[in-house]
Structure 1
Amino acid sequence: MLTELCLYIFLFFHVVNSLPGFTSQTYNTDLDRCGKVHLTVSSLEDTYLELNWVTKCDPMYDMVPDEIALYDKNPLDRNEEMPPRVSILARRYPDGYYKTKVKFGSPWLPGNWEYQENMVQAEHGQHCFPYWIASLKRDMLIDVQCLKINPTWMFDNSHRIGKKRIGSVIIPGTHNSGSSKTVVFLQNYVMNQDRNIWTQLVFGIRYLDLRVGYYGKEGFFINHDVVRITKLIPVLREIRKFSELAPREIIIIDFHRFPYPSDFTTSLHESLTKLLHNELHDVALFPSGLQIGNGPTFNEIWARNKSIIVCYNEKEVSILGNRWLWHPIEQFWGNKRDVGELKSFLDTAIKQHKSILNPMWALMAELTPQALDVIFRTNNLRKLANNINRHVTKWVRGEWSNSSINIVATDYFLGNDIINVAIAKNIL
Structure 2
Amino acid sequence: MTGEARAWLTVSALASTSPEGQTTQRQMEMNWEVVDVMEGDWIGIFDKDPSGDWSNPVDQRTPRESFGYFITNATLPHLPVSTEQMEGACLGWWVAYVRDDTPIAIDCFKVHPRWMSALKEQIGAVSLRNLVWPGVHDAGTYTPYSQLADNSLMKYAITQDESIYNQLVYGNRYIDLRAGYFSGDPDEPYWVVHGLTVWRPFREVLQQLLEFVQSTGEVVIAEVSGFTFFETSEHHTGCIELITEVVEEVMAARDLTWDATLADLLQTPASLIVIYDHHEADSHPLFWPEISSKWANAQSISQLEEYMYNVFEVDGPPAAPWKLNGQLTPLAEDVITDDLGSLRIMADEVNRNVTQWLQTRWWDQISIISCDFVLSANYVEVAMEVNLRRIAK
Taking structure 1 as the reference length, the TM-score comes to: 0.82
Establish whether residue 102 from structure 1 lines up as the match of residue 74 from structure 2.
yes
1:361 and 2:322 matched:
yes
Corresponding position of 2:41: 66
Matched, 1:236 2:211: no
Aligned partner of residue 84 in structure 1, secondary structure: coil
2:63 equivalent among 78, 83, 90: 90
Distance 1:94 1:404 in 2: 25
Corresponding residue of 1:349: 311
Q: Does 1:332 align with 2:285?
A: no
Letter paired with 1:54: E
Pair 1:420 & 2:381 matched: yes
Cα distance in 2 between the residues matched to 1:34 and 1:224: 43
What's the offset of the Cα at 1:199? 0.8
TM-score (norm 2): 0.89
Secondary structure of 2:169 counterpart: helix
* CA root-mean-square deviation: 2.0
**Residue of structure 1 in register with 2:27 after alignment:** 48
Q: Highest CA radius of gyration, 1 or 2?
A: 1
Distance 1:288 1:235 in 2: 25
Tell me by how many angstroms 1:34 deviates: 3.7
Q: Is the 8 A contact 1:53 1:96 kept in 2?
A: yes
Deviation at 1:82, TM superposition (A): 4.7
- How far has the Cα of 1:106 moved from its partner? 1.3
What per-residue deviation string (whole Å, max 9, x for no partner) do you get for residues 327-370 of structure 1? 01222111001112111212322352333xxx421010001112
The 1:275/1:108 distance shift into structure 2, 3 A limit, reads closer
Shift of 1:47: 1.4
Q: How much has 1:133 moved relative to structure 2?
A: 0.4
Q: In the alignment, is the contact (CA less than 8 A) between 2:325 and 2:370 conserved in 1?
A: yes
> Where do 5+ consecutive residues of structure 2 fail to align?
16-24
* 1:166 equivalent in alignment to 2:133: no
Q: Distance in 2 between matches of 1:252 and 1:107?
A: 24
Letter in 2 for 1:307: S
> Can you list the C-alpha shifts for 1:96-154, whole angstroms capped at 9, x where unaligned?
21111222231332xxx1xxxxxxx7133111111100001021110000011111000
When residues 64 and 346 of structure 1 are mapped into structure 2, their CA distance, relative to the original with a 3 A threshold, is farther
1:254 to 220, 223, 227: 223
Higher normalized strand content (fraction of residues): 2
Take 1:419 and 1:219, find their aligned partners in 2: how far apart are those partners? 34
SS in 2 for 1:427: helix
Provide the C-alpha distance between the structure 2 equivalents of 1:203 and 1:138, rounded to a whole number of angstroms.
Answer: 34
Structure 1 CA distance, aligned partners of 2:210 and 2:338? 38
After TM superposition, list the pairs within 5 Å mapping 1:185-204 onto structure 2: 185=151, 186-204=153-171
1:277-332 CA-to-partner distances (Å, cap 9, x unmatched) read 111122111111514xxx221122234442100001002322xx422100012221
In 2: Cα distance, 1:210 partner to 1:130 partner: 31
> Which residue of 2 is the match for residue 276 of structure 1?
243
